[in-house]
Structure 1
Amino acid sequence: MARTRGSLTPQDAMASLSATVQRRWKTWLVSPDEQNSVDLPLHPPTGKATAQDVTAASAWVRSWQNWEKTHPQARVVWVEKSWTAAGLGRQLLPDRLQVAGVDALVSLTGTTRYWRGLVRRFAALAGASPAPAVREAAAAVLPRWRDLDDADLSRVHAVVDWFLAHPSSGLMPRAVPVEGVHGKWLESHRTLVTRLVAAHRGDTSGKTVATLTDLGLVEREAQVRLRLPEGLPGWAGVPGDVTLTWSGAAGLWAEELTGSAPPPVTGVLLVENLETFLALPASPGRMLLWGAGYSARRWATLPWLADLPVWYWGDLDADGFAILSAVRSHLPQVQSVLMDEAAVRRWLQLGTVDSNPDRKNLSALTASEDAARDLLASSGNLRIEQERILLSEAVDALTGAGFYEED
């Protein structure tokens, strides 16, 4: 469709309205009775601009005349403007597009069905007449529940009610007596459940209820899996692959840390995935630590890691870089391996679509790591799993990074 520079065509206006609607879902859920309207300037061409291309300017006016006839949900405001410079005198031109109310906005942008679905699911989650704090909390975590099926929405509602009635149950997560709920379900929906429980208790920030322990449950102590180097003092006869409780792992080499001797390891490699953790060869003095996904954020706080050389190798995807950034926030000396732009280019043919292509700012990444993220995004939001990279080339990269010693 013809247009003049700076003037909005109907297609331009619809794209702008669609973007506005997408931004306002949460606001509308919090304040369903609030009048929401849009007043969009259309920037009609001046007489001087029209003189340069009268045909395009006239076609632009006709496009709005035709559009107005078929879109009764909106109002096009026509204003008399001077086109004297183009030899056309004064003309009545479309100046603004006005849409009043949520119903009109969703109808105009073709999102009525989606919006009604959100409202229905919101009511199933928060109740028919939720308190303002609960309404705000549920809207704030919209991405956590908009794709849940009806069964899970009902479970969330039932679980929140149960925790409100039993604030100090002392149960293990898998023992919560709500049908269909188990430890993994609770962990997967923890943010949603804790925010709603906190809101019901009057905390709109969601900070006082952030963990399963805050819900009155007793969590099993986290377990840390390590592959220790051979010949460690006091570890004779102990398998090199050991699993320790969090407190046991944190207490390793406590005497060395409080005295003058360093821990009896010379460096640690955190590996995101178990298969790679098990497949990598051992090296004298070096420890392998299974990151177990986002658990690596906690492992990074192990006190004996603070003064050791630390390497991190994870998946080339949104989660892998988020984990790396979180680990480096605790351990600024962390050096990543196979998580730069060169690694992405080398293994791009093995990429698959990332189902969670989050591009949030990760302040602890290097320029090279950020470039790797950009390349994955520009290549179609791809991810490259750690396990798909040839082990021999991974060992070469780890050797080049200093984890393994040169032969």
Structure 2
Amino acid sequence: MATKTSGWTSPGDVRATVLRAWNSGELLREFHTPTGLHPRRRTLKHPSATALRTDYALAAAWAASWDPAPRCATLEYVTVGATTIGANTIPAAAVFASAAEEISFLGLGHEAARFLELARTLVTLDPKLEAWALRHPIEVLKQGEDALTAARVALWMVANPAPGIYLRQLSLPGVHTKFVENHRKLIDSMVSVLAPERALLGKNYSRRHGFLAAPDRVRLRFLDPVLELSPGVADIEVSAAAFVAMRPDVDRIITTENLVNFLALPQMPRTLAVFGGGYGFEGIRDAAWLTDVEVLYWGDIDTHGFSILNQLRSHHPRVRSILMDEETLLAHSDFWGREATPNHGALNHLTPDEHAVYANLQNGTHQPLLRLEQELLNWEYVLQRLQGPPHT
């Protein structure tokens, strides 16, 4: 109680400080490879001469809380009040001789020994993994034997950058498809240390590591019955490669991010609807034939909706956005929501009007973190805009 009201450092405060050093990995790194950080003084905020004079009982109770000294620490003392109320010797610092002493103070000696064991085993697999272990000591402890298994997978991936098999065909002792799926970030962090020249880019994990992967699929709706592949066959799905190779006899495509909107789009002459088209959608990105048709993009009115539009337009400059304007936003204020993680990047492929809406979203002009999801738009409003003249 005394330390809570006084603000002086308590043994619990020192424990919390040392625990932060453990959680950051600093103590385990020092335990593995001392750098001269120890002996380390953990300075204590202690009573001043004035405090001794005004509330001696409180100060005495604080000093008593340090007797005996915390386990594995020695106390340094300072003399206070010699010229006022008389010399009083009180604790001024808790000193730990080594990282091992601080770890023992926390009662985590067994965990530290386990870390050393795991780190040494990682080094036997590849010396470069020592640097990884020291960078991620708490992760090593958390993963335990799984860290060793992940290291074997990472080493195999580095040795086989283009295996040309499906991920589930990977045959290593103790490794199954679920293990790789559940430890992707762990494996990638090891690969980045083992082979830093390998840039792990792309959303598809299998392709990123040279495995075969199921092709991306593109869902299409022919909004003109005349263009149906056969009567009643208007809604189909093809591979991204097939979409790229297509040469449909259409004048316009509408791509939308919402399935219900995709399904509800009305019949339109010589028009094809495409479901999806978000970040990295290679079918739309690589389809050169889109340069010969009008491409409309309908996304959410939020920063990521405009980011996807910007990305799509970087490949197809003639893409035109629909229902992503200020008028639509303001007409649906009753349905405004919140965007949890907005994008703050500069978008260089927006029109002036689009950029104005994007800037308002970033600046919180109408409402902080504003988002209007496309599926919330009034459908009569949508139909009027889709079937009316182009809206700029």
User: Do both share a fold (TM > 0.5)?
Assistant: yes
- Taking structure 1 as the reference length, what is the TM-score of the superposition? 0.61
Indicate which of 42, 61, 64 corresponds to 1:62: 64
Indicate how the Cα distance of structure 1 residues 158 and 398 shifts in structure 2: closer, same or farther if over 3 A, else same: same
Q: Which amino acid aligns with 2:215?
A: A
Partner of 1:223: 216
Counterpart secondary structure, 2:154: helix
1:170 aligns with 2:164: yes
Partner of 2:2: 2
Partner of 1:22: 23
- Alignment length, in residue pairs? 335
Partner of 2:72: 73
Indicate how the Cα distance of structure 1 residues 232 and 135 shifts in structure 2: closer, same or farther if over 3 A, else same: farther
Indicate how the Cα distance of structure 1 residues 264 and 330 shifts in structure 2: closer, same or farther if over 3 A, else same: closer
1:289 aligns with 2:275: yes
Aligned-residue offset at 1:219: 2.2
1:263-294 CA-partner distances (Å, limit 9, x unpaired): 421x5125xxxxxx479852237957368xxx
1:21-59 CA-partner distances (Å, limit 9, x unpaired): 11125x735971215544222122322344443332222
Indicate which of 255, 261, 280 corresponds to 1:298: 280
Indicate how the Cα distance of structure 1 residues 323 and 81 shifts in structure 2: closer, same or farther if over 3 A, else same: farther
Higher deviation after alignment, 324-333 or 231-240: 324-333
Counterpart secondary structure, 1:80: strand
Indicate how the Cα distance of structure 1 residues 168 and 229 shifts in structure 2: closer, same or farther if over 3 A, else same: closer
Q: Which amino acid aligns with 1:226?
A: R
After TM superposition, list the pairs within 5 Å mapping 1:164-313 onto structure 2: 164-179=158-173, 181-182=175-176, 185-201=179-195, 203=196, 207=199, 212-213=206-207, 215=209, 217-220=210-213, 222-226=215-219, 228=221, 230-231=223-224, 234-237=227-230, 239-249=233-243, 263-265=252-254, 268-270=256-258, 277=259, 282-284=264-266, 287=273, 289=275, 297-299=279-281, 302-303=284-285, 308-312=296-300
1:101 aligns with 2:98: yes
Partner of 2:355: none
1:197-218 CA-partner distances (Å, limit 9, x unpaired): 45334x3x76379865564x34
In structure 1, distance between residues paired with 2:380 and 2:162: 49
Query: Contact between 1:10 and 1:63, CA under 8 Å: does it hold in 2?
Result: yes
Partner of 1:347: none
Aligned-residue offset at 1:135: 1.9
Counterpart secondary structure, 2:24: helix
Indicate how the Cα distance of structure 1 residues 129 and 241 shifts in structure 2: closer, same or farther if over 3 A, else same: same
Indicate how the Cα distance of structure 1 residues 244 and 188 shifts in structure 2: closer, same or farther if over 3 A, else same: farther
Q: Which amino acid aligns with 1:137?
A: W
Query: Contact between 2:219 and 2:237, CA under 8 Å: does it hold in 1?
Result: yes
Indicate which of 143, 149, 158 corresponds to 2:152: 158
Counterpart secondary structure, 2:171: coil
Aligned-residue offset at 1:9: 1.4
Note the residue ranges of structure 2 that are not aligned, 5 or more in a row. Answer: 314-320, 346-360, 386-392
Counterpart secondary structure, 1:264: strand
Query: Contact between 1:221 and 1:246, CA under 8 Å: does it hold in 2?
Result: no
Query: Contact between 2:118 and 2:144, CA under 8 Å: does it hold in 1?
Result: no
In structure 1, distance between residues paired with 2:344 and 2:194: 33
Counterpart secondary structure, 1:77: strand
Aligned-residue offset at 1:11: 1.5
Q: Which has the larger radius of gyration?
A: 2
Indicate how the Cα distance of structure 1 residues 82 and 20 shifts in structure 2: closer, same or farther if over 3 A, else same: same
Query: Contact between 1:280 and 1:395, CA under 8 Å: does it hold in 2?
Result: no
Q: CA RMSD in A?
A: 5.0
Identity across matched positions, percent = 15
- Taking structure 2 as the reference length, what is the TM-score of the superposition? 0.63
In structure 2, distance between residues paired with 1:200 and 1:117: 23
Counterpart secondary structure, 1:243: strand
Aligned-residue offset at 1:239: 4.4
Partner of 2:129: 134
Note the residue ranges of structure 1 that are not aligned, 5 or more in a row. Answer: 271-276, 314-320, 345-358, 373-393
In structure 2, distance between residues paired with 1:198 and 1:46: 52
Partner of 2:49: 47
Q: Which amino acid aligns with 1:94?
A: P
